[in-house]
Amino acid sequence: MSHFRFIHAADIHLGSLLNIDRPNKQMSSLQERAVYDAFERLCKIGIDQDIDFLLIAGDLYDSDSKNIYANKFFIRMCNELKDKGIDLYVLAGNHDPLNQQWDYFDLPDNVKIFSADQADQYLVEREGQVLARIIGQSYKSKWESRRVYEGFELDKDGIFNIGLLHTQLESGDKKYIPARATDLAKNEAIHYWALGHIHRPQLIRDQDPVIAYPGIPQARDFGEQDQGGAYLVEVRGTRIVKMAYLAVSSVIYKTVEIDISSRELKEAKTLNDLEDHIIAIGQSLAESQTGKWPADLEEIADNNLAQQPVEAYIIRWLIKGRGQLHKLLKDLGQEGESELAEGLRRQLAGFSPLIWTDSIQLRTGMPITRELEADYQHIIDMMDQAISGLYEDQSQQNELLDLLGRLWTRQEDPEDRDYLKFHLDDKTLKQMTDSAKQLVLEKLVDRAGDQ
Ligand SMILES: [Mn+2]
């Protein structure tokens, strides 16, 4: 019976840089190399773990930053894999569709690119034995509305079949292949759906057929938080016997919430107390880093994760809750906010991994006592009613957009953003209404205090 391993990766986005505001020397080096490092780590684990092939389910290159260096780097990795007899099966996604210049140099012959005109099939063989069959179809242009997976017709002949698909996995979607997990699961010949496009790792279905998104190996901004990587899959015959997540990011974006109403900060009188508290959190985050190179697949599978050493965390400190510190923080203003961030950046720079403060976001409120709440309950209720109307009624939202001005838009396809506009997504709307509510209450309390 055949027995083999492969890595399922996607959305490498070679060529893109990490979004870091005013980086220091160390961060600026990571900014440039982290995306490449993550892919190199994947290839190295692949070699260590003796995989037979590597799948890339679309968006190997980043659309705006495809370049000669990225292409040469990819070729170097392919050649290293070729030396070990490992083939790569690559799908072109919406960021690297085949109608654009795809590569500047010839690729080695262990790289197979799927055509955009029809579904291509490849047989993976080792020493004359067929291990697996892989089917896929690339994007021709940056949008693909065809249900290309409907043409994935494969024999059911005891060979492990893999379908490669770059999709948003939404049935009404017109840009990134309309599909539902149930549509895919209906294809009885396919054992494993290697998906790409969604940047967060997700095991959509954990039984035959398995449907999985590996996520982006290296995040590039706060929209892509936490550790990224790829799946390592071990197969016997047509059965998956092991599946483990290879976490390879060397930089992790993370929002850390600090609650000023917590036990530790409730009594805090000055910003020093807050600063000390944040530094202690940063320190324990750095110390919790025990990433090491995985010894073997058994170990990876036992932990279900192979954590690679992290070089830096990029942190957004979200300071929230109600408490005494609110008044001090409010008085800081924007200048004070960046001053506080600058101080943290300095004080946390010595840790390894580096704890890099990206910014501080203030979402605090004054302490609300029971009496206060009782006094203003009718106003709070009115505001809550008005706010819920805003969420339920599209026309009220449009009115709000008109009020905000023409710089704002509701259109929010993250893959096709107009970066010259502000986007009123649900999260932003919630922040707006929360702080509006807070502001009204504060004014009321101030006025009551004046009387
Ligand atoms: Mn994509």
In this prediction, residues 355-370 reach a mean pLDDT of: 86
Residues 437 and 354 reside in one and the same domain: no
- CA gap 216, 279 in Å, rounded: 29
Pick the last residue of a domain from 340, 367, 394: 367
Please give the model's pTM, rounded to 2 decimal places: 0.85
* pLDDT recorded at residue 338: 85
Structural domain including 379 reads 369-451
Q: How far is CA 80 from each of CA 40, 60, 193, rounded to the nearest angstrom? A: 10, 17, 26
Residue 415 Cα to ligand 1 middle (Å): 8
Residue 97 Cα to ligand 1 middle (Å): 10
Residues 407 and 333 reside in one and the same domain: no
Residues 355 and 390 reside in one and the same domain: no
Q: What is the pLDDT of residues 212-231, one digit of tens each?
A: 999 999 999 999 988 899 99
Residue 405 φ/ψ region, left for φ over 0, alpha for ψ in the -120 to 50 degree band, beta for the rest: left
Residues 199 and 270 reside in one and the same domain: no
Residue 176 Cα to ligand 1 middle (Å): 8
Residues 153 and 258 reside in one and the same domain: no
Residue 170 Cα to ligand 1 middle (Å): 14
Whose tokens are 């509006």? That residue is: 436
Of the candidates 7, 10, 32, 9, which has an alpha carbon nearest to the alpha carbon of residue 19?
A: 32
Residue 202 Cα to ligand 1 middle (Å): 15
Pick the last residue of a domain from 309, 343, 367: 367
Pick the last residue of a domain from 192, 221, 246: 246
Residues 174 and 227 reside in one and the same domain: yes
Q: What is the pLDDT of residues 39-96, one digit of tens each?
A: 999 999 999 889 999 999 999 999 866 689 999 999 999 999 999 999 999 999 999 9
Q: Hey, what amino acid is at 349?
A: A
Share of the chain above pLDDT 70, in %: 92
Residues 265 and 411 reside in one and the same domain: no
Residue burial 186-198, b: 16+ Cβ < 10 Å; e: rest = ebebbbbbbbbbb
Residue 333 φ/ψ region, left for φ over 0, alpha for ψ in the -120 to 50 degree band, beta for the rest: left
DSSP tag of 290 = -
Share of the chain above pLDDT 90, in %: 55
Q: The tokens of 162 are what?
A: 């893999």
Residues 108 and 187 reside in one and the same domain: yes
* pLDDT recorded at residue 295: 44
Q: Across the chain, what does the average pLDDT equal?
A: 88
Q: Hey, what amino acid is at 101?
A: Q
* pLDDT recorded at residue 303: 52
Neighbours of 63 (CB within 10 A): 17
Residue 244 Cα to ligand 1 middle (Å): 23
Q: How many domains does the chain have?
A: 3
In this prediction, residues 268-279 reach a mean pLDDT of: 91
Residues 163 and 255 reside in one and the same domain: no
